[in-house]
Each structure stands twice: as C-alpha cells, then as structure tokens.
C-alpha cells in the first residue's frame, strides 16, 4: 500500500497468513474497534486503522502490523487520506468510531442542542461520507460495509435520546444504501452491551464492568463478515440490520 501524508505503516513479525483482503476500521485504538482489528488480523486481513489518539493507535498498529493514520473522522481531508491508503484494494469498511455527545447523558428536555451537530457529524455524516469514498473500491471487489449501531436506536432508553437518534439515522441510511448498492453488503450491526470506556462514561464503571468484553462481540461480527467471502456462501448475510448475538454460534449459519 502507498502512504498518505502523515500515515504510518508498521511492519512486525507475524504468523498471520495474508488473505489478500484489506479492511479500514475507524475507532480502532480501543473498545470494539481495537478488538475487531485484532480478530480480523488473526484471519489474515491487511488493516488500515484510524482513531483520534495517535499514541494508543500506534501501539495497536504495531501489534497487528497495520497501517494507521490518526485523525478525526469528521474531517473530510482525513477521510480522503484514509481511503487513499487502501490503494484501490479495499474490501471492508468498518465504521466503528462514534461519540456519546454530552456526558453525563442528559434528558432531551435538558439536552444542549449546540452539541448535536458534532454528534451527528461523527455518528452519521462521517460513516456515510467514508462509504461514498470507499464505494468505487467496494463495488469492484464485492466488498462490505459494517456500520456499528446500538439498541439505543430502537429502544426508548431515558437520557439516550440524542445518541440513539444518530444510530437510528445510521440504521436507515444503511438500509437505503444496501438497497442502492446490490454489489456491496451493507450491514448495520448491533454489538450488544460491552464493557468499554464509552459505556462506563454513560452508566458508570461498576455497571459497565458487568457487560461482556468487546472481544466477544468482535468474534461474532468477524464470524458474520467471514460468510461474505467463504466459498459457496458469498453474499450471506444479506444487507440489513442484525445483532452480533445472532452469530454467537458458528453452527447456526453453517
């Protein structure tokens, strides 16, 4: 892969077999993004990783032998540089980066509407903007888009209104994009509750610690992704919204 200005490629000794596929993952320095990068690397994927914090991102990339470029997915120039790093070989776009907005989460009656543009820029506009840039490569290669959603998109959870609205919007945009792009699988995947820093910010560390680790959801999501390229099962699952828990057992889809 060629390098964009500011991009880094980390070469490490690895037992991974290169499967010839490339994935771009946002929010890859922590939580689900990092766990999914680790899982896909184990499956032989080449990785392009991004997150805002360069120090932690660099450590993740070094461990996985990935290219990385730190930055804000809400920045158009950063998005263009990211997609350029795939050098025309992109097979999978994972839009994991997101923000809660105001913390502690407020009720809608108390929400600061001035914080909403940033919330929608990161959680809705950025994933679709990256999809627009990636689609030429994904169409050509029969690729896929994973948009990480949430049960807050469908449930009336107090104080989750603004965040949930962004995920509901992302769900619907994923639905429409999947209908418009028959050559590309477009999945809105609900990973379930995970013990991440984001969840701790929302509900407190004690409650967040009771949730499953991100690696559990990453395993399930990687399992679903694998069906896209598995011999004889190309195109499964179809575009649409589903929960990572639907792929808790391999046998359910083999």
Positions annotated as catalytic residues are 163
Euclidean distance between CA atoms 101 and 117, whole angstroms? 10
Euclidean distance between CA atoms 146 and 124, whole angstroms? 13
Would strands 22-25 and 90-95 be described as parallel, antiparallel, or unpaired? Answer: parallel
Residue 13, classified by CB atoms within 10 Å of its CB into exposed (0-12), middle (13-18) or buried (19+), is: exposed
Number of Cα atoms under 13 Å in the Cβ half of residue 11 = 1
Max Cα-Cα span within the chain: 53
Euclidean distance between CA atoms 213 and 39, whole angstroms? 13
Question: Among residues 98, 83, 87, which one has the least CA distance to residue 51?
Answer: 98
CA Rg value for the chain: 17
Instruction: Output DSSP code: residue 124.
Output: I
Question: Among residues 132, 244, 242, 230, which one has the least CA distance to residue 187?
Answer: 242
């Amino acid at each position: 892969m060629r390098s964009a200005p500011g991009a880094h490629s980390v070469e490490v000794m690895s037992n991974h077999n290169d499967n010839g596929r490339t994935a771009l993952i946002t929010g890859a320095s922590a939580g689900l993004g990092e766990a999914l990068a680790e899982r896909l690397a184990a499956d032989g994927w080449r990785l392009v990783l991004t997150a805002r914090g360069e120090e932690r991102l660099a450590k993740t990339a070094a461990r996985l032998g990935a290219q990385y470029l730190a930055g804000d997915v809400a920045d158009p120039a950063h998005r263009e540089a990211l997609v350029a790093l795939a050098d025309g070989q992109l097979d999978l776009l994972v839009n994991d980066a997101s923000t809660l907005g105001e913390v502690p989460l407020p009720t809608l009656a108390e929400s600061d509407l001035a914080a909403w543009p940033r919330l929608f820029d990161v959680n809705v506009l950025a994933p679709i903007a990256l999809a627009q840039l990636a689609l030429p490569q994904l169409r050509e290669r029969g690729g896929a888009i994973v948009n990480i959603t949430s049960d807050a998109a469908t449930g009336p959870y107090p104080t989750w209104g603004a965040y949930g609205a962004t995920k509901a919007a992302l769900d619907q945009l994923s639905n429409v994009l999947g209908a418009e792009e028959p050559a590309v699988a477009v999945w809105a995947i609900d990973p379930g509750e995970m013990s991440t820093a984001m969840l701790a910010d929302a509900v407190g560390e004690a409650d967040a610690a009771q949730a499953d680790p991100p690696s559990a959801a990453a395993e399930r999501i990687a399992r679903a992704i694998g069906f896209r390229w598995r011999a004889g099962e190309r195109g499964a699952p179809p575009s649409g919204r589903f929960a990572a828990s639907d792929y808790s057992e391999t046998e359910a889809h083999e």
